[in-house]
Structure 1
């Protein structure tokens, strides 16, 4: 791709570093952000920065959390006698979205 702006090219290259995002999708995302008003883009960028600086990993199960223990491990109603071994956090999100599992990870 040939870009008329080095800022545009740099932004596309940064988005293209994300998993599953190629150059075409990266360009589409960057062009979308360019069209947004400044407040929307500022909110987007501050959310990403805050996420990176504030997100923690649960000390018990290593799930993503806002606190030392995630909402699953801190829930006293969860059955600690049933443990589901997962490969990654996406698996936890998928299982939790079913609302059928009441154990821990």
Structure 2
């Protein structure tokens, strides 16, 4: 019975160990891309999962904006990418047009 409590405590505390987007950016694991999405600079399964989740949410927002404004998704993503890169903190990664990563 005691082992069950240990497992339950470990599961409940997992979220405290999990990275969030800002932590992943600060650690140089994730960067901003020109298409308004984030990309994995270097990382593992957890980093890929964070990027996938963020990108799914961003795409939903971009699709809503495109639908409401009558603009193409490509245009919305390009504008969002430009804004996200402009807002990226110094020292965080951005992706260049050739696909390479560099610190801002």
TM-score, shorter chain, exceeding 0.5: no
Q: Which has the higher contact order (CA 8 A, sep 6+)?
A: 2
What TM-score, normalized by structure 1, do the two folds share?
A: 0.27
- Give the structure with the larger strand fraction: 2
Q: Which has the larger radius of gyration?
A: 1
What TM-score, normalized by structure 2, do the two folds share?
A: 0.27
